[in-house]
A = this chain, B = another copy of it.
Amino acid sequence: MTIHTHKTAPTQFVDANGIRFAFRRFGYSQIGVPPLVFNQHFMGTMDHWDPAVTDGLAEGREVILFNNAGIGNSSGEVPTSIPQMGANAIAFIRALAVTQVDVLGFSIGGMVAQEIAIQTPDIIRRLILVGTGPRGADMATSKFAEIFAATYQHPEDLWLFVHFSQSATSQAAGREFFKRKLQRTDRDPEVTERAASAQREAIGKYVSQREGTRELLGEIRQPTLIVQGSNDVIIPTANSYSLQQFIPNAELIVYPDSNHGSFYQYPELFVSQANQFLTWEREKGQSFPARAPKEL
């Protein structure tokens, strides 16, 4: 049996919820270790993940990449609400006929991952949230609108501004990431303007819902790892601190000199820490404290 990698895994399809979902599944499955399902960022397809991250994590488990409804070669429409994106992701996960999964979500995918955990807690074992924020996230200092509205000499340069800091080291790490990312030649269609527009609307609604965030995050009972860059210009870093404060069993890691795509800047470190989190026996006797209400 050939073990596929990020570069070679064939695109497969599965039908659920009236949607034909495109996905790729690869890695070394281990008894007792659930697969890890990746939820992608705004305007991203399966091809936008960093192979150093996906292949790195695939050494200890199966990883499953997919395009949610209306993205790339998946059918259907992008919903204009994050909870509906979560419902579609759950339909996809159920269609895989696995009993349990770990879930990683990046940016808007991290919002979707929170929805998956809230809507269907039984199917999720552990949660990794990268470069994201809660419902009602504070976007006051975000440069999301201007960075995505600008034009770039090379279109790919957009991602140097989204994912990496302006230091020479971080920008160099960004160009290394591009080399890794672009090795795969059999690529998904890019996200359409229509799809991006629906994603924008969903994000806008999600971050404007400031009521009840604390209670909602309190419902996430999975061990959760939150990873963020020191200065995320898309979803400001302080939102990851808020996630840590309000998800009952959450660990936060913030990397130096980094932006929205911090885990692409430190892929080996991230893989090592995420592996440790996913394999650590932290449930051992873990109960959840009754927490005094706090304001976000």
A residues whose Cβ falls under 8 Å from a Cβ of B: 165-170, 172, 223, 230-231, 237-238, 241, 244-245, 248-257, 269, 272-273, 276, 280, 282, 285-289
Contacts and interface: CB of A to CB of B under 8 A. Distances in A.
Contacts of A237: 245
Contacts of A223: 256
A287 B241 contact: no
A249 B256 CA distance: 5
A287 B244 contact: no
Contacts of A285: 169, 172
Contacts of A255: 251
B250 A289 contact: no
Contacts of A273: 273, 276
Contacts of A250: 230, 256
A286 B167 CA distance: 10
Quick one: which of A241, A252, A286 has the most chain B CB within 10 A? A252
Contact of A167 (B169, B241, B244, B287): B287
A289 B250 CA distance: 30
A165 B287 CA distance: 12
Given A230-B244, A244-B230, A276-B272, A170 B253 contact: no
Contacts of A269: 276, 280, 282
Contacts of A289: 165-170, 257
15 contacts: A167-B287, A168-B287, A169-B286, A169-B287, A223-B256, A230-B250, A241-B254, A248-B257, A249-B256, A250-B256, A251-B254, A251-B255, A257-B286, A257-B289, A269-B282
